[in-house]
Structure 1
Amino acid sequence: MRVVKLATCSLNQWAMDFQGNLERTKTSIKQAKDAGAVFRVGPELELSGYGCEDHFLEPDTLTHSWECLAEILASDLTDGIVCDIGLPVEQGGVRYNCRAYCLNGQILLIRPKLYLANDGNYRELRRFSAWKHLQQLVELQLPESIKEITGQTKVPFGDGYLSFEDTSVASETCEELFTPASPHIGLSLNGVEIIANGSGSHHQLRKLNTRLELMQSATSKGGGVYLYANQQGCDGGRLYYDGCACIVVNGDVVAQGSQFSLKDIEVIVASVDLDAVAGYRGAVSSLREQASQQPPIPFVNVSFRLSRPMDMLKNFPTLPIPIKYHTPQEEIALGPACWLWDYLRRSRASGFLLPLSGGADSSSVAAIVGCMCQLVIKAVKEGDEQVCLDAVRIGNYQEKEVPKTAQELANRILHTVYMGTENSSEGTRGRADRLAKEIGASHLDIKVDVIVSAFLSLFKTITGKTLRYKVDGGTQTENLALQNIQARIRMVIAYMLASLLPWVRSKPGYLLVLGSANVDEGLRGYLTKYDCSSADINPIGGISKQDLRAFLRWGANNLGYPSLAEIEGAPPTAELEPIRANYTQIDEIDMGMTYEELSMYGRLRMIFRCGPVSMFQHLCHRWQGRLTPAEVATKVKDFFRFYSTNRHKMTTLTPSYHAENYSPEDNRFDLRQFLYNTRWPWQFRRIDQLVKSVEVRELSSSISVEKRNMEPTDAEVAAAHSTGFGVPAASSSNPQAGKGT
């Protein structure tokens, strides 16, 4: 047996934090060596951090990345272990996203990324170029910082692999796994047995399945070993990278790391039998035939063996394991919770301020913060020193004190405030209070009517006009203005409390204000611009209302917050209008559409790339038998009117955790204009034409059916002839017409 011990890792890197990134990279290499691994792969662009964005256009970013690599090469870290390290590199005046293979203080090969991610949240083509010279190696002139340490002046650069004395190793980088003609196909047919993928893949609900299935498919079709490393955590932006480093052999997962973790470093190790790979490939005739005619890929010979003699007790091949998948509800709890923890500790803030209304959205945010506190306490009890240090600092614990329970920690770092008015109900007030107690939050219950009255008095003094709600005979303009005044006042109060509550409690720092608008409300624009939806960060801004309600039901049973069940069962309401015996404000009535419909519109608009006309056509088919084409047309028009009228709100949307691929978030993801012709004259006219054509066809069809129904049957014709009477005339309303000879 050729048994090789391999290591991959998830690292919580931080864009532009070269010192921290270097330390985490070095620690992961050391842990891999200590575990006996002879090959280690790290995440994409791990030295600089993946999310540097336009900092990649700065020469300093490349220089500092080389300096970090130089420090690794100057140490003994790469002695006896091949290290696959991600960094940006410039070759021939062109900037590339690269992997550097290092061994014994030398660089063996630098492999640039062949296919770049340039859609959704990714803009790699803005900063890098793809390597166009497939199956070619050139020479890269090394910078002085590397030459001084390694003595090398040039190294191989390009699309190639490493050929060791006993096996061969190659790279894919993130996006290349997802492309139709992935590099691993040609590499496997060239006999490469180990393929390593250093990735920067973000979390999205229900996405992990796709990632693992692609790796299983790659190694089950072509055989081989696939190592997957990933970024983990919040590296400074809206994305949360969900780790889940893994090792797959011939279609079987033999090692899998955690998908959501507060650990900064997680190293996964497995022993792999390369003879099993050779046997797997040799048994498939079609694979052998394709491999025999595959164009050769250049390689670099390395005088080094990766395999070790097999010891029955120490390095027997790792056996396959069942894959661990989280439910969407668990993903909503864990992903945003880990993202919030990273943002909190790295921003040096001392906690969160959450306007808690007692409704589904703000309660979901509160529950996620509660889940975050539970994860922190779990990590502290497991001995994670970094988490413990951060928790002590953020919670302002005294020397030698450590947080003991999630409720105790929440009381120090989560401040909730119920900002009621005369339009608020006792139901929402009570639910907010009960949930805050269950979580352990420091909770305030205040009335803002006096401030609302001051604004209304000022307006009356200026204009002489008294505003009235619609239910009291006011106009729609008055009604909206009265609601917006309350909402914007809450935002101002939230920021006042966020800056001053730590001072009130004799603690340093400031609080981050949390937003709680969901992805569907953002899409519809069902929020007031600069109201309490305006915040510092929003953990649910990329999550649909339907998923949030499922999360609340799950959280009531699994997070220890039973009041979430009651909150989920209550009808969503903004409570910005007076409650009357014959009127209660309900969100879906206000919006003119259900949350289920909003999710459908969002997916069709963004994922299926539908404009008004194609959305209308799709929904006519989907909702056939439920709605007429005219009714579908009305709904589609209403959605696009509201979407385009409120699109400007997306330009100021609170930065949100990205969890859905139909997010309307304007600043990074949904790159569409914010000034529209909201009448959509061409598109809506075309919809009207389609509706009319359908109605004409239906009318014509109906007339034909009616005509056929009035025509005599064969039996009636036969009966008429047998009695001597003529055939009844279809056009006559007189039943006796047509009688006679």
Structure 2
Amino acid sequence: MKDGFIKVAAGTPAIRVADCTYNAARIIALAREADAAGVRLLVLPELCITGYTCGDLFLQQTLLSGALSALARILEETAELDLLLLPGLPFPFGSKLYNCAAVCHKGKLLGLVPKTHIPNYGEFYERRHFASGAGLCETAAPFGYAVPLSANQLFACRALPAFTFGVEICEDLWVPDAPSSLLCREGAAVIANLSASDEVIGKAEYRRLLVCTQSGRLVCGYLYADAGEGESTTDMVFSGHSLIAQNGALLAEHAPFSQGLCIAEFDVLCLASERRRMTTYPQRQGGCQTVFFDMELRPCALSRRVSASPFVPEGDAERAERCELILRMQATGLATRMQATHCAQAVIGVSGGLDSTLALLVAARTLDLLSLPRKNLVAVTMPCFGTTRRTRTNAHRLAQALGATLREIDITAAVAQHFKDIGHDPALHDTTFENCQARERTQVLMDIANQVNGLVIGTGDLSELALGWATYNGDHMSMYGVNASVPKTLVRHLVRYAADIAEDALRTTLLDVLDTPVSPELLPAKDGEISQVTEDLVGPYALHDFFLYYALRWAFPPEKILRLAESAFAGVYDSETIRKWLQNFYRRFFRQQFKRSCLPDGPKIGSVTLSPRGDWRMPSDASAALWLAWAEQK
């Protein structure tokens, strides 16, 4: 349960219809297996103590007494396990019979949750036996102590309040007003669903969609345990199709007609943070009672795979589709701005590097979108002290392949004159030496844009903005930044996608751009090769993009990001290397906010962006002390 991770499971025991003693033994065995795997919450199918398909046997006192005796045995034999166990059983109360979930923990019954929506259509005839638990708010004492009997109850961990769960049963999920909506509004981060959903053609796909959608709509973890082997096949077949989803994403799934445990981890602190971020998430209205339980907080080993590239889809087809969409979004944003400003030309400083290549590709698409000739794309290369033959050649070839107007303006003499004007020693390769070149290039681009009535298109990407890896009022400034919310790891894939669909001449150049080290080329080349490699100075962009995603999108603390990074980059970077660059990330992110506070406009592409007018508003003089303190406690 460290960092908010809770290991959960949906279990499908093999049962015998109406054999409560046998079923209890299978449930106990499954609970012990789950406990050995580190599971803290195990949800079992609807009515699994008796079997869902008992029919009119549910009206037999022998079965009802047997179910209660089986529950007592389950409680007794799982008392030493520190896990929450939720089996289902029929429970008589007053003059009615209820289809209930029994919430069990360390030998005690915490509460009974009755099913609210009782289906009576098609193959279902539950109203023949069961009453709805809607509005029921009673106290039962099946084992000599009082427990709540109500659909409107929550179960909360005292040591980790974010671990609060509610229960609904099968059909409750399939109706428009699912109880889980109220339960989540009142504070449930996790919904446990005990189900007996029969299998018919097409139902598995719909069931999966339903569980994922509900978890996303309610910003919760959804745990769906389905009945399977042993249920009567007189008229139906049950497949044990169990599912675990969190906030719209499927974490784990038991394929239909499989048994045993389906295990995953919920991140309840992540869910709590996301709900706070969504200001439209409803406030509590006091519609549920809460039952508290004590559970020891133990480290939770992660079984989930943590992607090292959270901004980049992993499947080839999905990645290609995403890249095409992003390029269209960028081009549409730029086209709208060009139309609004009555500018018919786009001016781009082209270095032969990744970012300017992507901006050039986007601008070319934009002109096509506006039915303007490609010659209206003014590609300006401005060689100086650090420019290499390789990047200069690629800049030329890109412009030619795209049909752009190429202009080369050597700024060496202008920068040397500026050094002389301000009294700077050109042999001193410091920040002044580098930034003078960047600002000279920006001045040239702005003046050319005035000449041709065009817009200067910014090339800087999201990763550079996060780290402040830009010259203030130099490459930091433009008239529209098409790459402003595209992280470096995604820039690479966008250029790769463009290469995949390009003709031979352009493809060859794009592939060489991809193979070129990322560099601002502001320091003199060594033997004609790039001497200034960005990632040697600020750290690997793969790590920084990972840090950026989890720090901004999910507001994770640095200790949690470190843990996830160690999992994602195992075998690539050791813990100390990750820790070093994570500290650097936070230092730079806080110190460089002043550059982000005055960014040019640019289109939002993904869920993480740093526009001061939109997603990220932060004072430029904020302290990083709290975010860096964790490093001293290693």
TM-score class, shorter-chain normalisation, is: 0.3 to 0.5
**TM-score scaled by length of structure 2:** 0.46
The two structures have a TM-score, normalised by structure 1, of 0.39
